[in-house]
Amino acid sequence: MKDLMGKAIWDYFHNENPEDLQTETSISELDELPVEYLFRDFEDMNDIEQKALELAQGKVLDIGAGAGSHALYLQNERNLDVLALDISPKSTEVCKLRGIKKAVCNNMLDFSGETFDTILLLMNGTGIFQSLEKIDSYLQKLHALVSDKGSILIDSTDILYMFDRDEDGGVYIPAGGYYGELDYIVHYKGESEDPIKWLYLDFTTLKNAAENNGFTIEKVMQDEDSYLAKLTKK
């Protein structure tokens, strides 16, 4: 991993000639992602993010923390005990430099040793699951990390709207797998990250997977094609 997302976050924080990130997927064209978006305040976050941060309580694990904006808000404004977890070394360093007291660079599957009252996976949190084939491993890990009375707040988008429809409203979905399984590529300053697997889940598919792995699940919020779900242990 070249850690291009982390490089962009590092450059922006240190004002070292940051540039916009460029992202693309196997079904979408190149898109600009301003790095400053990753540093936004609570007021500039979308409704799903704000709702998740309002619901967070107790000891919190922020998975895929990025530049740390969610964790920073919970720590400084909600006075919660927060651990920011990210696979990117440079992002983790920026989290620490921004004042997050607990920031760890690790893959969530390799992280252990404590449990949490709230686990956050935001900005299409299901993406980290990679594919339907691996979703059970991730959900079982989350089951081990969340406390018995705790909850997991995770968001995603049903990307069915991105596919063409026929005159009768039927959707043209490519054969050979679930339509939400994509390759995701990040570009920064002329470099390209190797493609990673990224998973967008419709709510019903997430619900079935969650219930098969010892969770009850409710949809907390719907915003057009995106939603926020809350998972708790059965």
Average pLDDT for residues 3-12, to the nearest whole number?
98
Q: Which of 41, 4, 43, 44 is nearest to 20 (CA)?
A: 4
- Separation of alpha carbons 146 and 130, rounded Å: 20
CATH architecture of 4-233: 3-Layer(aba) Sandwich (3.40)
Q: Which of 152, 135, 106, 139 is nearest to 197 (CA)?
A: 135
One-letter amino acid at 179 equals: Y
More confident residue, 6 or 164: 6
Give tens-digit pLDDT for 84-115.
999 999 999 999 999 999 999 999 999 998 99
Domain ranges of the chain: 4-233
Return the pLDDT at 224: 96
User: pTM to 2 decimals?
Assistant: 0.94
